[in-house]
Amino acid sequence: MVFRLTILGSSSALPTANRYPTALLLNANERFFLIDCGEGTQMQLRKYKFNFSKIDHVFISHIHGDHIFGLPGLLSTMQLLGRKKDLHIYGPAELEEYLNLYSGKQDFSEIFKIILHKTGHKRKNLIYSGKNMEVWSIPLKHRVPTTGFLFKEKSVGRNIRKEAIRKYEPGIEQIARIIEGEDIKLEDGSIIANELLTLPPWKRRSYAYISDTKYYPSIAGQILDVDLLFHESTFLSKDEKMAEKTFHSTAKQAAMTAQQANAGKLLLGHFSSRYKSLNPMLNEAKEVFENSHLVEDGDNFEIKRIREGFESGF
């Protein structure tokens, strides 16, 4: 059961020679979720050998160009590749006009449907619920309506031990009750505790994407205990006034949010091109939250599947 994040783009407003604007791809058990779509996203998808047809859900945090300018090109390529499946796009209400302008000129209506799910930005909302995954929008503080996203696996029950099946040979109905937590009673009247018959359930893995936002303490409470946190870190602390003015965060502020949320690992991205070296940014973050990392385009971060009660799955 794969749970892997790939960084497709990690720059802020301006692309650089080594970094594309923001875009990330989450592979959750071979279901692919594209998160933001900056300029050049489809080039990065090709570079890292992802199949466009497997992307059925696109999440857009806000309508600033460095987060959406790759969308028209991606949609056009999907059209040229003969896509037939519906494409679900989740984003602010303002995205509708942008999509209508483009899709109207391209006339996708006879090829594949684009279904826009308006996320809202004033409170936490459940915006997607699939077989194994749910996604919540997280309100952020930026110059335009903006949300982050929390991806979290759905809970599953305990797993019956194979050796228990061989030893006690329970029937199908009895197996169902064991998975739900019941003990079993043998013919001689003895009771076998459920803990001896089953394994603990798998821990629900989670990933939060905090896009453009000024430091906003209430974010942490909405992503508590998240395993993997990507948080924008556009500026260094020496430029905190600029961060405040432009409604962005510093690396230190991103680390503060990670600490307050009890996150497992912090990924710093969405860097301003003004900085020739990002090491000072990493140092500032680590002073607050040790498990902080600078991302590079093409990086992969995987959360391993572990049982509840065990340590981190990284």
Catalytic residues, which ones? Answer: 66
Q: Which helix (H) or strand (E) holds 45?
A: helix 41-47
Give the DSSP per-residue string, 166-195. HHH---HHHHHHHHTT--EE-TTS-EE-HH
Q: How many CB atoms lie within 10 A of CB 55?
A: 20
What sections of 109-264 are H helices per DSSP?
A: 162-168, 172-179, 194-197, 218-222, 240-246, 251-261
**173: Cβ–Cβ under 8 A, 6 or more apart, which residues?**
none
Q: Which amino acid is at 191?
A: I
Q: What does the alpha-carbon distance between residue 237 and residue 231 come to, in Å, rounded to a whole number?
A: 15
What's the gap between Cα 268 and its chain centre? 14
Torsion sign over Cα 114, 99, 24, 15: positive
